[in-house]
Amino acid sequence: MKFLLGILFAVFVAIVGVFAVVTSGVINIGADQAHSPLVYKFLETARTRSIANASKGIIVPNLAKVDMISTGGADYKDMCAGCHLSPGVESTDFSESLYPKPPNFTNADVVKRYQTKAGAQQGFWAIKHGIMASGMPAWGASHDDDRMWAMMAFIRSLPELNEAQYTMLTTRIDTDIMDMSFDGDMDMSDDSFEMQH
């Protein structure tokens, strides 16, 4: 009985201790200070295990299809390159100042894990849901799955691209404008067809 009370007391002291530390304000939450190796390992393990677990059932489309790679390029340049870099750009204000640092997707060693099924599932999950308190946004709030898979496909081939190829694959052709003028022409010919009768 005494032993049990001892354990209960120890648990109580531990909870009060944690509460006192958290509410006292001594924990530095600044992004310009690194975690201790133990805390870093703890958080990294939680993140890796969480993403691996949550992404298990995701069905991966055929990421080698060329149109997937080309449509993902423009989105990548607009929304991701500022943090995850691009050919010829080795650092940006974001890539330098965030903690943890965003992985550099022009580096083949970083990207090679997305060539496996599990890697692609995990990368897609991170794009869709983001990573809490890291600076990685949840893009699923504003983008459909197809667009996010296209970015995943583009990232997989990014390390092979030089600057000129990157520019070519990330330039947006404004198809909306082309569609509009095409529709306009069609309407006019329809009208003239009706007028003749």
Q: Which residues bind ligand HEC (CB under 6 A)?
A: 47, 79-80, 82-84, 94, 98, 100, 102-103, 122-123, 126-127, 131, 134-137, 139, 151
Cα distance from N-terminal residue to C-terminal residue, the chain: 102
CB of 179 to ligand HEC, least distance (A): 25
Distance from C-alpha of 124 to C-alpha of 58, rounded to nearest angstrom: 9
Kindly tell me the burial class for residue 28, based on how many C-beta atoms sit within 10 Å of its own C-beta (0-12, 13-18, 19 or more): exposed
Nearer to ligand HEC, 73 or 123 (CB): 123
CB of 11 to ligand HEC, least distance (A): 31
Nearer to ligand HEC, 9 or 45 (CB): 45
**Contact status, residue 152 vs residue 123, Cβ threshold 8 Å:** yes
CB of 183 to ligand HEC, least distance (A): 31
Distance from C-alpha of 100 to C-alpha of 74, rounded to nearest angstrom: 25
Nearer to ligand HEC, 90 or 179 (CB): 90
Torsion of CA 89, 95, 100, 105, to 10 degrees: -30
CB of 101 to ligand HEC, least distance (A): 7
The neighbour count for residue 66, using CB atoms within 10 Å, is 9
Nearer to ligand HEC, 134 or 165 (CB): 134
CB of 76 to ligand HEC, least distance (A): 6
103: amino acid identity, one letter: P
**Contact status, residue 120 vs residue 111, Cβ threshold 8 Å:** no
Nearer to ligand HEC, 1 or 132 (CB): 132
Q: What are phi and psi of 86, to 5 degrees?
A: -150, 165
